[in-house]
Amino acid sequence: MNAFVSLLALGDPFPRGVLPYLVGGLLVGLGASVIYLSTGIIAGASTFLESTLSYVSSVERFNRFKYVNSRGWRFVFTAGIVSGATVYMLVSGSGVWTTDVQWWRLLVGGVLVGVGTRLGKGCTSGHGVCGVGSLSNTSLVNVATFLVFAIGTAQLVQALGVAP
């Protein structure tokens, strides 16, 4: 038990302690489990966004039967993600999150992530939370790839002294 208490109080890598991350991870896992157990569908945010686009786009990709047929509850779940973040911000008093990163870097990063999620047939939430949990080979490869490139990019950016 003392080891667990010590883990919760870690100072260097976790200045706020480990508890917020444990609770956050528990809530993410619980949300993904509720979606999977009630619908049989993996809770992937990129697919939820894609199905929501069927409301406003006539592009055939967004209007496939599986998206149109399930877009109602997917939209509600997606709205719940945004609402949950908003409620946390209001309750915690942390204020609106902002960044000093230039808009063009955010745009380029977003485009790369968007293309990558479609090429990889899913995003970090679908592959990382649900896919790895179900021991999907595709998800294990995708998550390993995410991690290798994310760690490599972070190390390279830090070594080059790139700042926002």
Distance, CA of 133 to CA of 28 (rounded, Å)? 12
Q: What is the pLDDT of residue 41?
A: 79
Q: What is the pLDDT of residue 6?
A: 60
* 77 CB neighbour count, 10 Å cutoff: 18
> Minimal CA–CA distance to 43: which of 115, 118, 143, 133?
133
Q: Show the CA angle centred on residue 11, arms to residues 9 and 15, nearest 5°.
A: 100
Q: What is the pLDDT of residue 85?
A: 87
Q: What is the pLDDT of residue 144?
A: 93
123's tokens: 């995003």
3-state class of 157 per DSSP? helix
Mean pLDDT by 10 residues, the chain (164 residues): 58 77 90 86 79 84 81 85 88 80 89 84 83 87 91 91 77
